[in-house]
Amino acid sequence: MGLYGDSFIIIESDGLVVTEMSEPAARAISCWKYGPPYEMYDFDGDEEELEQVMNGLHFPVYDSKGFDDSSRESIADPAGFIAVGPAAKIKCHGAERIYRRSNSTDIAIGLKPELCGLGKGYGLRLTGAAVNFALQEFPDDGVRLSVAKDNLRALKVYEEAGFVRTGRFKKWMRVKGRLKLKTFYVMETGQ
């Protein structure tokens, strides 16, 4: 068994390694909690969520160097994940209209909660790895993602990575047990 278990390495980009999903990686990811104001991204850790993460459209991302020089812990645990295709799309009528407009590969990105908001460029590195992964797998497509309007950290990272806003839609979401109407931006890059 290697550093990333028995998972096949798909791509290496900027010190990050994207592999096939394994059950240990899926179990770790399916328990991530982001806390306020990002709790809409929390995982529940239940079996249904574990099955979703194991659906073949999610890929764990490991840091081959370790995010923190004082600890190599992040090498053993996923530092993030990438979801592609239908697993990356937000399901609602308004979004489907926008998604049909271009020939783009949809991605979603999740960074390990402890690495979020530190200002050390982890989100930008993960976004770059996700774009490189999508372009490797679907070289004729652009790359597209959807992000909540109030996720200012992610918006800043995606814009820095070259994404531009190409649409927006609204969706009712359950956050902390309450229904809230959330606005999402669709962002694309043709790279």
Q: Is residue 157 part of a domain?
A: yes
Q: Is residue 4 part of a domain?
A: no
Count structural domains, the chain.
1
Which tokens hold the place of 182? 């959330």
Q: Is residue 39 part of a domain?
A: yes
Q: Is residue 3 part of a domain?
A: no
Q: What is the pLDDT of residues 9-44, one digit of tens each?
A: 788 888 899 999 999 999 999 999 998 889 889 998
Q: Is residue 33 part of a domain?
A: yes
Q: Are strands 178-189 and 142-148 parallel, antiparallel or unpaired?
A: antiparallel
Which tokens hold the place of 108? 């979603």
Q: What is the pLDDT of residues 167-187, one digit of tens each?
A: 999 999 887 788 999 999 999
Q: Is residue 119 part of a domain?
A: yes
**pTM of the entire structure?**
0.88
Q: What is the pLDDT of residues 97-142, one digit of tens each?
A: 888 887 899 999 999 999 999 999 999 999 999 999 999 999 988 9
Q: Which domain holds residue 18?
A: 9-189
pLDDT value of position 176: 76
Which tokens hold the place of 151? 């996720």
Q: Is residue 120 part of a domain?
A: yes
Q: List the beta strands (DSSP E) in the chain.
A: 9-13, 16-19, 58-63, 80-84, 104-111, 142-148, 164-175, 178-189
Would you say residue 190 has pLDDT above 90? no
Would you say residue 68 has pLDDT above 50? no
CATH of residue 24's domain is 3.40.630.30
